[in-house]
């Protein structure tokens, strides 16, 4: 990884992946791209819409990119309100990235998948090879991404890799349009309002992960020896699973007056289609995945940073 291009640079993951990549000794340049021009933070920036294949291909050539982290996507909840947009960005956009990467001779393409690939028929505590019948266009696009990543590797030798990320929690950049956004919004509202209205039931358990661990997972899969990877595009990576009730209790350990209310909306159906927990033993065995943060340490770190950020 010498010259890296990141799509979705302004997003929840991109805004923290880029500085993590820039800290790595082997990385010389990180080109930050997004549909709106990213803030110039010690590296080149480009305004690129992944639906524009030519613009993306031109950036690969102009910067002689060897590695792409493709993060640009419409998330689950927003995708259900704008399915055509999600199809264009997540499916056609990813195909553009694959084709441009193939033609450019990209060394490595890292694209996160998601637990959204699972559906109601997926057995509990699923591994990598299981029933994938997602009920969202976002989940369908991630199944497409996993299979197309494998296809481009088998047929064109393009080294595509990915991990199925759970809901990601962070304090730097708000997520947008995700079903798991409640797990971030609750922290902001606990500080700013002292209360939060969750949009899912209090017993809705979902796999989650703190951003620092998600960054480790993405860089871990990106740098793992290829021949150690049995599921290069589809590894489950887990950290913790919790319900809104458990999150509320963890926040109340620090803010006893925090009040939670539960008013499920249409996102409850999406959350109910995903598993409570996942089996990530393959990632831990094949390439040494391990997480650091649990609910208590994540909650303490989130509140500490947000109290500083929100003043
Ligand atoms: C979403 N945060 O809610 C994303 C993620 C597993 C959930 O893919 O759509």
How far is it, in rounded angstroms, from Cα 128 to Cα 196? Answer: 35
Domain identity same for 53 and 194: no
Q: Phi-psi region for residue 174, left (φ > 0), alpha (ψ -120 to 50) or beta?
A: beta
Beta carbon of 96 within 6 Å of any ligand 1 atom: no
Pocket test for ligand 1, best of 119, 179, 204, 275 (most atoms within 8 A of CB): 179
Does 262 qualify as catalytic in the annotation? no
Beta carbon of 178 within 6 Å of any ligand 1 atom: yes
The confidence score (pLDDT) of residue 311 equals 86
Nearest to 125 by CA among 115, 134, 133: 115
Domain identity same for 177 and 231: no
Three-state SS for 227-282 is HHCCCCCCEECCCEEECHHHHHHHHHCCCCCCEEEECCCCHHHHHHCCCCCCCCHH
Looking at the structure of the chain, the number of domains it has is: 2
The confidence score (pLDDT) of residue 142 equals 98
Distance 88 CA to ligand 1 centre (A): 18
Domain identity same for 49 and 23: yes
Domain identity same for 259 and 248: yes
8 Å CB contact between 239 and 208: yes
The DSSP line for 42-110 is SS-EEE--TT-HHHHHHHHHHHT--EEEE-----HHHHHH-HHHHIIIIIIHHHHHHHHHHHHT-SEEE
Write out the residue range of the structural domain in which residue 260 sits. 168-208+239-310
Residue 13 belongs to a domain with what CATH number?
3.40.50.720
Ligand 1, residue 136: give the atom nearest the CA: 9
Ligand 1, residue 274: give the atom nearest the CA: 6
Domain identity same for 127 and 176: no
Ligand 1, residue 179: give the atom nearest the CA: 3
Output the six-digit token pair for 291. Answer: 């997480």
Domain identity same for 63 and 183: no
The confidence score (pLDDT) of residue 39 equals 87
Beta carbon of 75 within 6 Å of any ligand 1 atom: yes
- The parts of the chain modelled with pLDDT lower than 70 are none
Distance 108 CA to ligand 1 centre (A): 24
Domain identity same for 224 and 81: yes
Distance 180 CA to ligand 1 centre (A): 6
The confidence score (pLDDT) of residue 249 equals 98
Beta carbon of 180 within 6 Å of any ligand 1 atom: yes
Residue found under tokens 């899912």: 200
Ligand 1, residue 142: give the atom nearest the CA: 8
Is the pTM for the entire model greater than 0.85? yes
Beta carbon of 166 within 6 Å of any ligand 1 atom: yes
How far is it, in rounded angstroms, from Cα 47 to Cα 10? Answer: 11
Pocket test for ligand 1, best of 14, 114, 211 (most atoms within 8 A of CB): 114
Domain identity same for 178 and 87: no
Beta carbon of 76 within 6 Å of any ligand 1 atom: yes
How far is it, in rounded angstroms, from Cα 266 to Cα 66? Answer: 41
pLDDT digits 0-9 by tens, 133-180: 999 999 999 999 999 999 999 999 999 999 999 999 999 999 889 999
Residue 280 belongs to a domain with what CATH number?
3.90.25.10
Distance 76 CA to ligand 1 centre (A): 6
In eight-state DSSP terms, residue 34 is: E
Domain identity same for 245 and 159: no
Distance 62 CA to ligand 1 centre (A): 32
């Amino acid at each position: 990884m010498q010259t890296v291009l990141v799509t979705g640079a302004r997003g929840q993951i991109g805004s923290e992946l880029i500085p993590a990549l820039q800290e790595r000794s082997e990385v010389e340049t990180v080109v930050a791209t997004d549909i709106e021009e990213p803030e110039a933070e010690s590296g080149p920036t480009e305004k690129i819409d992944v639906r524009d294949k030519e613009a993306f291909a031109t950036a690969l050539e102009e910067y002689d990119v060897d590695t792409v982290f493709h993060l640009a996507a419409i998330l689950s909840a927003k995708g259900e309100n704008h399915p055509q947009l999600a199809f264009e960005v997540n499916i056609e956009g990813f195909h553009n990235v694959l084709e441009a990467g193939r033609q450019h001779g990209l060394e490595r393409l890292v694209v996160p998948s998601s637990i959204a690939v699972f559906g109601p028929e997926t057995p509990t505590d699923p591994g990598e090879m299981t029933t994938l019948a997602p009920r969202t266009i976002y989940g369908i696009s991630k199944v497409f991404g996993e299979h197309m990543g494998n296809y481009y590797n088998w047929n064109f030798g393009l080294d595509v890799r990915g991990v199925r990320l759970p809901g990601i929690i962070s304090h730097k950049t708000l997520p947008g349009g995700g079903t798991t956004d409640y797990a971030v919004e609750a922290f902001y509202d606990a500080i700013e309002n002292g209360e939060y209205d969750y949009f899912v039931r209090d017993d809705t358990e979902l796999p989650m992960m703190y951003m620092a661990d998600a960054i480790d997972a993405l860089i871990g899969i990106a740098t793992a020896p290829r021949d150690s990877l049995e599921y290069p595009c589809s590894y489950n990576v887990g950290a913790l699973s919790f319900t809104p009730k458990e999150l509320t209790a963890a926040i109340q350990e620090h803010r006893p007056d925090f009040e939670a209310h539960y008013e499920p909306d249409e996102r409850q159906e999406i959350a109910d289609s995903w598993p409570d927990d996942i089996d990530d033993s393959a990632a831990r065995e094949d390439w040494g995945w391990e997480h650091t943060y649990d609910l208590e340490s994540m909650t303490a770190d989130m509140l500490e940073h947000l109290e500083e950020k929100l003043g």
